[in-house]
Structure 1
Amino acid sequence: MRITDYELFHAPPRWLFLKVTTSDGTVGWGEPVVEGRARTVETAVEELFDNYLLGEDPTRIEDHWQAMYRGGFYRGGPILMSAIAGVDQALWDIKGKQLGAPVYELLGGPARDRVRVYQWIGGDRPDDVGDAAAEKVDAGFTALKMNATPELERVDSPRAVDEAVERLAAVREAVGDDVDIGVDFHGRVSKPMAKRLVAALEPYDPFFVEEPVLPEHNDALPEIAAKTTTPIATGERMFSRWDFKEVFEQGSVDVIQPDLSHAGGITEVNKIASMAEAYDVALAPHCPLGPVALASCVQVDAAAPNALIQEQSLDIHYNESSDVLDYLADPSVFEYEDGYVDLPEGPGLGIEVDEAAVRDSDEPDWHNPVWRHGDGSVAEW
């Protein structure tokens, strides 16, 4: 069996799908994308196939991962690692289909029977979060996540902190103490503001504080963690096990959030999860993306003993034109019940992509906004 063909499809709202075909007709799907840089990643995927993968045996997944990563003098980063991630997902999908087993069975078998998921509320500039939270809890979710703030100045006013506290307080009041609430700083908060915010939000018991500072400032995490007992989460903009070494060794992070479409795919995130387990750190993969990325996450979650919870993008504020279920032949594979999703039983990634829907979709042109402060300088989004 050999890899004989591949196709790439841009699909709304901001996704890129990869179809890989083998000589015996087996098809595997991946989702290699950097949101807002899909065309750049597309070129990287084409280079991997045209220069190396076409004609190769698709079952040698580890060997291909090593060749794609180490075969170039320049390594890592969001573009290459996202391209590798999508290819890796597709190769695992093919292997599972060839062997008639879900990927998690090939990773050692399930460590759980279902995976807990959380639901996004609010938008980029969060508002009306109390009512939205109550609505999602009524729909059966037991965990939520929201952005903590809109854009902030490097040192902002007491009022900016108070508004963040008021939003979280409104959600806590709406849902009570039985529901977990993750608070995402989105890397838009500077170190001094992060220190103030984690302390101010603590009385409302956040599930975790996510990406309190940008990964280039991970050296500040111990100082921020010292200001709160709230678990610290980060990792969506970290792309390999080598990127995670520092935070594990620091001991300041409690939850890691590698993205299965950015951090080298199933092969790499499974290794990152094992590293995290050794440091008593939980896994909660980042996934505001499409169905192939989510299916890949669930496969790793199923087999990882330290998996905590799974992000998923149903009704997320980015999904204005299409949603996570729109490209599946059988959307019931992601039916959420009591805040959980059952493990898929189908082979490979356990989903069937609706190829006609993918082919008929309009090519999106999504880019994240560029925010500016009142003085005209660029703000973190």
Structure 2
Amino acid sequence: MKIGRIETFYVPPRWLFVRVESDDGAVGWGEASLEGWAEAVDGAFEALRDRFIGHDPFRIEDAFQVGYRGGFYRGGPVLMSALAGLEQALWDLKGKAFGMPVWQMLGGKVRERIRAYAWIGGDRPDDIAEAAAARREQGFSAVKMNATAELDWIGTPRLFHGVVARVEAAQAAGMDVGLDFHGRVHRPMAKQLAKLLEPLGLLFIEEPLLSENPEGLEQISRLVSTPIALGERLHSRWDFKPFLTSGAVDIIQPDVSHCGGILEARKIAAMAEAYDVAVAPHCPLGPLALASCVQLAACTPNLAIQEMSLGIHYNVGADLFTFCGDKEALRPVDGCLPIPDGPGLGVTIDEDAVREAHKDRHRWRNPIFRNGDGSFAEW
């Protein structure tokens, strides 16, 4: 068996799907979504096609090595997202060929269900309480929300107290809460806010500073006992290595569509396990990314929790895909997702619908936010 064809599809709202077909007609699907950069990732597939048409699709580790190292220049979000989509598709194809899920090929599952959280938003405590109650009705027991829309170099007690009130509103609705700073907050304010939030018992604070500021992250990790999480903007085990060795993080968040794929994410998780650091895979993306995360989560001992947006915002009516032929197969129950038993990624794609959606070629771009004074703000 050889790889005969590699296709990419722009699928609304912002996804990039990958389809790999062997010369004997076997098919696998993956997701190379990189929010706002679909065209750049798609462009990287020109080189990947030259490398891998005619390659043995079962040699997944070899494909990663060639894809990562073979072009001399390596790493970064674009190249690693393209490689991730290809790698996921190879796992899907292989699993279907052998009639087993990816988690089985990676050593078998270590749990029977996977705790998951969903995103909520709202500017006022009442908005947060309503959104948290809705997530609870959907089956979640944990949520993640923004820390703040605006905290620059100098904050005010009013802004701090607003953050606390919103967290307390979600907790009062019966939810465990993770708080995402998005790297919006500069170090002086991040330290104060992290300390103020410490008594609330958060699941984690995410990106209290950007990963490009490892010294500041290490300082905050020594200041508070709240678990610190990051990793969606890191793209290989080598990117994660300094944060593990410094002890600056407690939960890592690799994205299987940004970090080279399922096996690279599994290697990152294994590195973290050696440092007693937990894993909470990042996934605000599409169905193939989530399916890949579930395969990873099923066989990863140091899993903490799984991010999930699927079925809440997208794919109304299951018009593009189902999990193992079941529209409800990946709905949370008592805060947890089941582990699909279907082969490969366990996803059935409606190829005709995907090809039809691709005709519009979405041009999704990250929104631009600004502070009250007009300066640029992190998303």
Give the TM-score, by structure 2 length.
0.94
Amino acid at match of 2:121: G
1:25-62 deviation line (CA, Å, top 9, x unaligned) = 1110010121000011001122211x200011111110
Partner of 1:19: 19
Distance 2:196 2:177 in 1: 15
Secondary structure, in 3 states, of the residue corresponding to 1:298?
helix
My pick for the range that moved more, 113-122 or 289-298, is: 113-122
- Aligned twin of 2:36: 36
Shift of 1:323: 5.8
Q: Does 1:90 align with 2:83?
A: no
2:219 matched to 1:223?
Answer: yes
SS at match of 1:233: strand
For 1:286-305, what aligned pairs fall within 5 Å after superposition? Answer: 286-305=282-301
1:192: Cα distance to partner?
1.4
Q: Which amino acid aligns with 2:330?
A: F
Deviations 1:267-307, CA, capped at 9 Å, x for gaps = 10010010011000111100000000000000011011111
Corresponding position of 1:274? 270
Change (3 A) 1:374 1:274: same
Query: Runs of 5+ in structure 1 lacking a partner?
Result: none
Q: Which amino acid counterpart does residue 163 of structure 1 have in structure 2?
A: G
> 1:106 and 2:105 equivalent?
yes
The number of residues matched between the two structures is 374
Distance (Å, rounded) in 1 between the aligned partners of 2:30 and 2:103: 16
Match of 1:169, SS state, is helix
**Which residue identity lines up with residue 194 of structure 2 in the other structure?**
V
> Identity over aligned residues, as a percent?
55
- Of 253, 258, 262, the match for 2:258: 262
Query: What TM-score do the two structures reach when normalised by structure 1?
Result: 0.94
Counterpart residue number, 1:169: 168
Residues 194 and 224, structure 2, Cα contact 8 Å, conserved in 1? yes
Q: Which residue of 2 aligns with 1:365?
A: 363
Written as runs of structure 1 = structure 2, the 5 A alignment for 1:65-214 is 65-122=64-121, 128-175=127-174, 179-214=175-210
CA distance in 2, matches of 1:171, 1:154: 27
Instruction: List gaps (5 residues or longer) in structure 2.
Output: none
1:282/1:308 contact within 8 Å kept: yes
What CA distance in whole angstroms lies between the structure 2 residues aligned with 1:323 and 1:226? 44
8 Å contact from structure 1 (residues 151, 371) kept in 2 = no
Distance 2:25 2:166 in 1: 52
Secondary structure of 1:337's partner?
coil
> Could you tell me how far apart the structure 2 residues matched to 1:260 and 1:45 are?
17
- Residues 145 and 182, structure 1, Cα contact 8 Å, conserved in 2: yes
CA distance in 2, matches of 1:82, 1:126: 36
Equivalents in 2 of 1:69, 1:123: separation in Å?
40
Which residue in 2 is equivalent to 1:47?
47
Task: Select between 38-47 and 293-302 the one with higher mean Cα deviation.
Answer: 38-47
Partner Cα distance (1:347, 1:100) in 2: 5
- CA distance change for structure 1 residues 12 and 134 in 2, over 3 Å: closer, same or farther? same
Runs of 4+ that moved beyond 3 A: 123-127, 321-326
Provide the secondary structure at the position in 2 that maps to 1:212. coil
RMSD value, Cα = 1.8
Shift of the alpha carbon at 1:151?
2.9
Alpha-carbon distance between aligned partners in 1 of 2:133 and 2:212, rounded to the nearest angstrom: 36
Closer, same or farther in 2 for the Cα pair 1:323/1:206, shift >3 Å?
farther
